[in-house]
Amino acid sequence: MALSTTPLVETSLSAVSPALPRAGARLVVVTPTFAPEPLGTPLYAADTVRWLDAAGWDVEVVTSQPFYPRFERYDGYGRATRRDVVDGVDVRRLPTVVPRGGRTRWRLASDANFLVQGATRASAGAIGRAPTVLSISPGTPVAAMVGASLRRRGGRHVCLVHDVQSGLASGLGMVRDARLVSVIRSVERRALELADEVLVLSEQMADVLAALGVRKPVTVLPLWSTVTPPATTPLTTTDLQFSGNFGRKQGLDQLVPLLLELRRRRPATTVTLRGAGPLRDTLQSELDDAGLDITIQDPVDDADLPAALRASRVHLVPQLAGTGAHVVPSKIVNALAVGGAVLAMSAPGSPVARMASHCDAIRVVEPGDIAGAAAATCELLDGRDPAALRRAAIEYAAAHHDRHRLLHQLHDILVGDRPVRA
């Protein structure tokens, strides 16, 4: 099938210029999700490509047709292979099986299709192999398999893991058959072993992969903030905000009970809910049935995200019990970067709980502890100096989640010119 060379997507990726000595080196980035998908891993994949392209890499992206986070194909995209240009970066979109409603069997079918489409084209030479490959796994290890098929002999393949699929599948109750969970773990382990180095977001995720049997070098590369701290004190319009993906791993069943408890304890609390995802309509119905006069807003564009986050004093980050060790919610990093305090519902020992032990602007209660979450929210809003919390948040984000420093580290890992820190 002939490929269209017309740039059909106009996604703004305003570049920076770190001027690293890698100009001209070819790099293929494999990610099942990418711009214009606005949340989570697609946002970070686009930001990574933006930075690496500005650093002088000759970047090509291999990805799917966009469908996340609503799990519906975007308008204007079809079923055929196509080529887009995103700010000068060649983006090759493969024929895609959309995982309808995010259901497990459709997710597995979508993953299998991405593997077949990518590996087949690599084998046929339709996608040229590269000396350096970065695969990004938003909870699907097939990204690493496609990445391995695109690595030139003697080249370097690095896999960045945002979610551990086998842990999420079990923790979310998506897969209840123990034999199938065992198969998923085996596939994930074998897939990640195809990389020369595996990157994870936290020490806890590294421990999970070690328990899974991954023996390749594993390095922690934390999420970075994609927004900058405010130059002045922000104008706050609401007390509490939840923004991001409305999916199962967010533990959204806790949201309405928490808001009802806050209405009882602190009736004047103002709330912003913003985002998209398969459970958005369900949540809106629950809000309406509970008599909470809150309308969920659409996600904002990248350029408007800093102001949207700065508009709330406290950001809510719920997690589903049993999933905390396998993910790091990206919303927490950007909320801190703009000076927001964070109320997280996460298990003891989770990456978020570990962050809270070093940052006074984060409060953590266990998933399901609605009374504790309401009390902690009220304490953040009424019992603490807002300026002190804002400083603590910004200082922590700057020290631990600086974009340029972490992406520079990613560059060094791709180059392979420094000792691996396992």
Round to whole Å and give the CA distance between 320 and 352: 13
Least confident segment among 16-20, 331-335, 398-402: 16-20
pLDDT band at 134 (very low <50, low <70, confident <90, very high): very high
Whole-number percent of the chain with pLDDT over 70: 87
> Residues 332-359: what's their mean pLDDT?
94
Residues 178, 167: Cα–Cα separation, whole Å: 12
Query: Mean pLDDT over residues 207-211, rounded?
Result: 91
Q: What is the C-alpha to C-alpha distance for residues 81 and 375, in angstroms, rounded to an integer?
A: 52
- In tens, the pLDDT along 210-259 reads 999 999 999 999 999 998 877 776 667 899 999 988 887 788 999 999 99
- Model pLDDT, residue 169: 47
Other Cβ atoms less than 10 A from the Cβ of 249: the count is 21
User: From CA 163, how far away is CA 166, in angstroms rounded?
Assistant: 9
pLDDT single digits (tens) 154-205? 999 999 999 887 655 444 455 556 777 788 888 899 999 999 999 999 998 8
Q: How confident is the model at residue 125 (pLDDT cuts 50, 70, 90)?
A: very high
Which helix (H) or strand (E) element contains residue 162? Answer: strand 151-163
**How much is the pLDDT for 8?**
35
Distance between CA 137 and CA 30 in Å, rounded? 9
Is 155 in contact with 201 (CB distance < 8 Å)? Answer: no
235-238: list long-range contacts, CB under 8 Å, 24+ apart. 235/310, 235/311, 236/310, 236/311, 236/312, 236/313, 237/270, 237/272, 237/311, 237/312, 238/270, 238/271, 238/272, 238/311, 238/312, 238/313
Delineate the domains of the chain, giving CATH numbers in brackets: 26-224+402-415 (3.40.50.2000), 238-400 (3.40.50.2000)
Q: Residue 211 is encoded by which pair of tokens?
A: 């328990």
Please give the single-letter amino acid code of residue 59: V
Spatial neighbors of 33 by CB under 8 A, at least 6 apart, are 40, 41, 42, 45, 63, 64, 66, 68, 138
Could you give phi then psi for residue 330, rounded to 5 degrees? Answer: -70, -25
Q: What is the pLDDT of residue 10?
A: 37
Amino acid at 23: A
Q: What is the pLDDT of residue 7?
A: 32
Sequence letter at residue 294: I
Tell me the mean pLDDT in the region 126-150.
Answer: 94
| 61 Cβ contact partners less than 8 Å away, ≥ 6 residues apart | 28, 29, 30, 31, 34, 45, 49, 86, 89, 90, 91, 92
DSSP per-residue string spanning 125-157: TSS--EEEEEEEEES-THHHHHHHHHEEEEEEE
pLDDT (0 to 100) of residue 46: 94
Which percentage of the chain shows pLDDT scores above 90? 66
Q: What number is the average pLDDT over the span 7-29? A: 55
**DSSP three-state, residue 85:** strand
Model-level pTM? 0.87
Q: In what order do the strands lie in the sheet with 362-365?
A: 271-276, 238-245, 312-318, 341-345, 362-365
Instruction: Report pLDDT for 415.
Output: 92
Minimum mean pLDDT among 111-115, 170-174, 337-341: which range?
170-174
Q: What pLDDT was estimated at residue 124?
A: 94
* Average predicted confidence (pLDDT) for the chain: 87
Separation CA 368–CA 403 (nearest Å): 33
What does the chain come to in residues? 422
Q: How far is CA 70 from CA 95, 105, 232, 278, in A?
A: 18, 16, 35, 5
Mean pLDDT confidence for 113-137: 95
pLDDT value of position 24: 64
CA dihedral 341, 160, 165, 206 (to 10 degrees): -80
Does 292 have pLDDT greater than 50?
yes
* Averaged pLDDT for residues 48-75: 94
> One-letter amino acid identity for 245?
N
Handedness of CA 179, 185, 188, 192 (dihedral sign): negative
